[in-house]
Amino acid sequence: MDPGAPEPRPSPALRCAYCHDPADGATACPTCGTLTHPACREEAGGACPTLGCAHIATPAAAVTGEYLPRDPAAVINCLIALFAAAMVLGAALGYIARRY
């Protein structure tokens, strides 16, 4: 098992982890089992309020209580990967060009 993975935390008093109201109608996070109301989950940008859970955005966002959408980070990572690929390709082409 992944040592960094969040573990399920069964709570004696079942409450929503986002609004702390009784967890009537709340659903469990598929990763860590934290209970949240569907509406609360939506308000949190679809992120799990549990620190370290795969469904959370960034730790900094969790401190301020604001959840950033995950997509911008994914786009930036994709751009970095494309840039790195272009650099490797450019270096390879330069190497080939010098040989002929």
- List residues binding Zn ion (CB under 5 A): 16, 18-19, 29, 31-32, 34, 37, 40, 48, 50, 53, 55
User: Nearest approach, Cβ of 24 to Zn ion (angstroms)?
Assistant: 9
User: Nearest approach, Cβ of 46 to Zn ion (angstroms)?
Assistant: 11
Residue 52: which residues within 8 A CB-CB, separation 6 or more?
A: 4, 6
Sequential DSSP letters for 36-58: E-HHHHHHTTT--SSTT-TT---
User: Nearest approach, Cβ of 68 to Zn ion (angstroms)?
Assistant: 16
Q: In one letter, which amino acid is 70?
A: R
User: Nearest approach, Cβ of 62 to Zn ion (angstroms)?
Assistant: 12
Nearer CB in complex with Zn ion: 5/74: 5
Per the structure block, which two tokens stand in for 91?
């270096």
3-state secondary structure 5-38: CCCCCCCCCCECCCCCCECCCCEECCCCCCEECH
Nearer CB in complex with Zn ion: 5/88: 5
